Structure 1
């Protein structure tokens, strides 16, 4: 029973870990700056937060929104931070409806687009919203025609101007296409913050990656384990996860479960190799498994491999 509890706790701690790496601290400071910004007599500030899939963008902004929960007053509901996730191929009306739904309007589906938009802007003021976070903003440009792309950008430009509230647009790098369609919107979204993958490309990046793995090692508690933050193993993690936090967590959480399943619990390179085959690259040949001794040390970017470019 004690072993099962330790396994469950360690695995959960890794999956839910929120470690304040240096870039996380910088982004939180930027969000706080927007949250505290007084927009009464001047234009609000806005941010675009970019990063490839799996680097932790959504986890970060969702956590920030949860730290500023809704407050029920007698006459209204205060929503300090409004978090909204954009669905695929949004139209102006769909954007207005989704915005109202996330704000808590029970009749979010009723009305014309101009009526919905006006109601949303009014409720932003009524609910004392101080920051709007638009997640999956790349859906504004994914699979949309030029006309739809332009109208989506124009809708947000109008809402930003009328609401006088700071916005954060979150998504993969394609979000920048949104700015190319509208000069006025581009002028309002000057600040771009990039979340990079962990890497071993240079000494500074490698030290940060090793520090991250050291923090994850702490989550394992008393489980006997190899030094996952060593220089050699860190390089293997770079191959195995492409430096993406989501995949690092998945790999280590499963490795912990497999380690505790052994008669003599312990996290070894063999356990990591099995975890990799389980949650990162099903059926990986030994020479394409970073934790196997025959690994050929080539990035896993072929068409059928986990980190192939999205174009494939």
Structure 2
């Protein structure tokens, strides 16, 4: 059954899933507002999008970029939405180079910081960019000291002012430190949207998480024989197993479907989920630390050697 069309479709659908949950619609609406904004004599609006790793920020932002593809004209390439994920320890020069590369500039690495920045501002205007998305913005403050952070924040503030287009900065929660280093940058990013992990901490959160699992079952597992993964009991187990992170929900379900189709009679069961968890979330986990095993001790998987070990936000 490994080559089953149902298996291939389910795996592909889960991996590429983009479900417009309420929080996703709110973020898309906010980005549409920025995209439609026409900056004439007033300053443009900007947005900071924060959330833990794995909650779906990059997937959403790349999807938005793809929904506004580049337009080829005879004289230029129009780039309505410019998306760039920055790497670790970015200097202003490296930042300018990365964004120029995303714009397709063949000379993105040639020149001094001031020259690259000047060319970047010029190309953003020439390419009619309406929204700039900078992902992994936490890298701006992940390395170096206070002076380094201030230099990065100040360069970004000057870029925002010079281009006069709207920006979205996305990163994990400690990205807030970037705004702490520069009052003027903070004043430009007053609007902050946080993406929370799914949870079962209270009644409304549990209903939302069960709705997420039901959506996966209805949209992507409808041809796959399966238990009800959206029940209250299963939602609690999924919350422990994935920490409510969309990336890990996808990863767990993909592996569970693959394992179920290795059986003579495919069916996604709790036992299959237990094996999938031990394969792609917490390899080698003892039964007491496997949420889908009857011996699970119902303690969060946040120890130093566990998948959701507490780290600095």
TM-score relative to the length of structure 2: 0.98
1:111 maps onto 2:111 in alignment: yes
C-alpha displacement of 1:222: 2.2
CA distance in 2, matches of 1:39, 1:26: 22
CA distance in 2, matches of 1:48, 1:248: 25
CA distance in 2, matches of 1:2, 1:185: 53
Q: Which moved further from structure 2: 130-139 or 200-209?
A: 200-209
C-alpha displacement of 1:215: 0.9
Residues 171-182 of structure 1: pairs in structure 2 closer than 5 A: 171-182=171-182
CA distance in 2, matches of 1:109, 1:307: 38
CA distance in 2, matches of 1:238, 1:109: 44
1:246 maps onto 2:285 in alignment: no
Residues 208-219 of structure 1: pairs in structure 2 closer than 5 A: 208-218=208-218, 219=220
C-alpha displacement of 1:198: 0.3
Mapped contact 1:237–1:290 kept (Cα < 8 A): yes
Secondary structure of the residue that 1:74 maps to in structure 2? Answer: coil
Q: Aligned residue pairs: how many?
A: 312
Secondary structure of the residue that 1:137 maps to in structure 2? Answer: coil
1:190 maps onto 2:184 in alignment: no
CA distance in 1, matches of 2:85, 2:271: 39
Q: Residue in 2 aligned with 1:307? A: 308
Residues 1-312 of structure 1: pairs in structure 2 closer than 5 A: 4-218=4-218, 219-311=220-312
Mapped contact 2:69–2:79 kept (Cα < 8 A): yes
Secondary structure of the residue that 2:49 maps to in structure 1? Answer: strand
**Root mean square deviation, CA, Å:** 1.3
CA distance in 2, matches of 1:292, 1:2: 25
Detail structure 1 runs of 4+ shifted over 6 Å in the superposition.
Answer: none
CA distance in 1, matches of 2:15, 2:288: 28
| 1:296 to 1:35, Cα distance in 2 relative to 1, 3 A | same
C-alpha displacement of 1:311: 4.9
| 1:85 to 1:4, Cα distance in 2 relative to 1, 3 A | same
C-alpha displacement of 1:310: 2.0
Unpaired runs of 5+ residues, structure 1, are: none
CA distance in 2, matches of 1:227, 1:62: 31
CA distance in 2, matches of 1:101, 1:2: 41
Q: Which moved further from structure 2: 236-245 or 84-93?
A: 84-93
C-alpha displacement of 1:80: 0.2
CA distance in 1, matches of 2:241, 2:83: 32
The CA deviation string for residues 264-290 of structure 1, in whole angstroms up to 9 with x for no partner, is 111111000000000000001011100
Mapped contact 1:11–1:220 kept (Cα < 8 A): no
CA distance in 2, matches of 1:305, 1:311: 15
CA distance in 1, matches of 2:3, 2:108: 49
CA distance in 2, matches of 1:125, 1:136: 24
